[in-house]
Structure 1
Amino acid sequence: MQNISTQELQRQVKEHTPLVEALARSLARKLPSNVEADDLVQDGHVALINSILSTSKKLTTAHFKNYLAMRVHGAMLDGLRELDHGSRQLRRGMRGVELAIQRLGHQLGRMPLEHEVATELGMTLKKYQRMLQDASDYALISLDDIMESDGRAKDPLANVDSDPLKVLERSALKDSLASALLALSKQSSAILRLYYVEDLTMVEIGKLLQVSEARVSQVHAQAIAELRARLLDGSGLIPVLKPRRSPRVR
């Protein structure tokens, strides 16, 4: 453990605060809009202070920044897990919905209807729609997508723009997403546009489209599941976020 003065601790925290804020912004961009970057920063600062106080590393070594980044990023993910309102069972259920949509899409040559997905899952339509409503905050990119298969956080300092393969994958993802959006129903497309582009609430969208707020939530979750189903590859991960086959050379 490092024996440092209060003044030195404050100096170190001030010096590394931009790193904490950058990691928080990067992580928040990949998560639903209800996740506040300020909450991530708060969790990151706690980890930063604990790391400075407990580390046996020299605070000036070249690897110290990487060490801090991993500790801070991990603390932010731990905080997200604690704040996650969606149960593991619900997330597993929605992953099952994505795979069912994917199977039916191959069989039917089109996006399946809600009652077809419900039948594929062995559910009544009412039970399926209730699950969709419970998953109204389901995100195109979830916390699971930014984790390694063994549960560790992906390298928070990895620079996508410096990796040609990642640049190509991100471009392909954009093309795939544009194609997937065109395949959605008019109602689904309208709800996504009004919610994400026009920034209307689900209550406001319901009034505009003359449907209930519950129905807007259901269509929203179904649309996100359809988009994710079209973007999934055989491994069940969004390709651009798929872990490397071999560890990154440091």
Structure 2
Amino acid sequence: MYTPKGTLDRDAQLRQYAPLVHRLAHLMIARVPASVEIDDLIQVGMIGLTEALARYEPSMGVQFETFATQRIRGAMLDELRDADWMSRGSRKLQKDIESAIHRLEQRLQRAPCESEIAQELGMSLAEYQETLSRMRGTQLVYLEDLGGRGDDEEGFLDRFLPDDGDNSPEAILADQRMRAALVEAIGKLPEREQHVMSMYYEHDMNLKEIAAVLGVTESRVSQLHSQAVARLRARLREH
């Protein structure tokens, strides 16, 4: 895409890749608090796309869409962090749920069901499920910081591994341990929660699409997602 003067047509490139920004924003909005506006994510995502267009070099050895996805996601995450989007109360609530799950797993030697987690927290099942719905977004930084590289050729687990450029033996060993721990933790999720995580992260399906597959509401999918992430965080605490 070049102008009549032989220079790259930046506007044409922005138009071409704008749908990528919209897709990533709609995927991310399901994991952030309801107070976050989709338009804000799209706006900062476009800034990330502009930066990607300015910095990309074919000699990098990666496709532009892969490179741009990293920049776009990074811009959105930076905006969320700068806005201090997760309240102290939400952080505490997330930790309380993780602690309850951890205690129950140690006691029961299996994955606890929702009613058992609710009882451990001193809540009714309805209150606990409502809490899960409110927790939408508290897991975002955890999962994205563990990976989310955006390479469509990568598998589900590859998206959750750090990519900090540290190739030391210690870092490689830590990555291997994290991979093994994550594989084990995902394998111990209840079957429906495994399906939700796979459809959401591996197949980039949105809540509406997942709800249609499972025959439940979007709100229920959000609850299952929040609970699955809480289970993973509880299991990975020791790693």
Query: Could you say which TM-score interval applies, normalised by the shorter chain?
Result: 0.5 to 0.7
Using the TM superposition, give the Cα deviation of residue 99 of structure 1 relative to its aligned residue in structure 2, in angstroms. 1.3
Identity, % of aligned pairs?
37
Rg bigger for which structure? 1
* RMSD between superposed Cα atoms in Å: 3.3
The TM-score with structure 1 as length reference comes to: 0.55
Equivalent residue for 1:106? 106
Unaligned runs of 5+ in 2: 1-26, 33-40, 49-74, 147-163
Per-residue Cα deviation, 1:186-207 (whole angstroms, up to 9, x for no partner): 1101111111112111111111
CA drift of 1:166 comes to 2.0
Contact 2:193 2:228 in 1 (8 A): yes
Distance 2:138 2:177 in 1: 23
Q: In the aligned structure 1, how far is the partner of 2:188 from the partner of 2:91?
A: 24
Q: Does 1:175 align with 2:180?
A: yes
Q: Residue 109 and residue 214 in structure 1: after superposition, are their counterparts in 2 closer, same or farther (change >3 A)?
A: same
- Quick check: 1:138–1:224 contact (8 Å CA) kept in 2? no
Q: In the TM superposition, what whole-angstrom CA distance separates every residue of 1:122-147 from its partner, at most 9, and x where no partner exists?
A: 1121111111111233437529x89x
1:38, distance to aligned residue in structure 2 (A): 8.1
Q: Which residue of 2 aligns with 1:133?
A: 133
The answer for the alignment partner of 2:196 in structure 1 is 191
**1:207/1:94 CA distance change after superposition, 3 Å:** same
**Inter-CA distance 83–119: structure 2 relative to 1 (3 Å threshold):** same
Once the two structures are superposed, residues 195-223 of structure 1 have per-residue CA deviations (whole angstroms, 9 ceiling, x without a partner) of 11121111111111111111111011000
Q: 1:208 to 1:41 in 2, by over 3 A?
A: closer
Structure 1: state its 5+ residue gaps.
Answer: 1-31, 44-74, 147-157, 234-238, 240-250
Aligned residue for 1:211?
216
1:103 to 1:140, Cα distance in 2 relative to 1, 3 A? farther
User: C-alpha distance in 1, partners of 2:183/2:219?
Assistant: 27
TM superposition score normalised by structure 2: 0.58
Which residue number corresponds to residue 122 of structure 1?
A: 122
CA distance in 2, matches of 1:100, 1:84: 26
| Alpha-carbon contact 2:90-2:138 (below 8 Å) kept | no
Instruction: Summarize the Cα distance change of 1:197–1:124 in structure 2 as closer, same or farther, 3 Å threshold.
Output: same
Displacement of 1:85 in angstroms is: 3.7
Q: How many residues of Structure 1 are paired with residues of Structure 2 in the alignment? A: 162
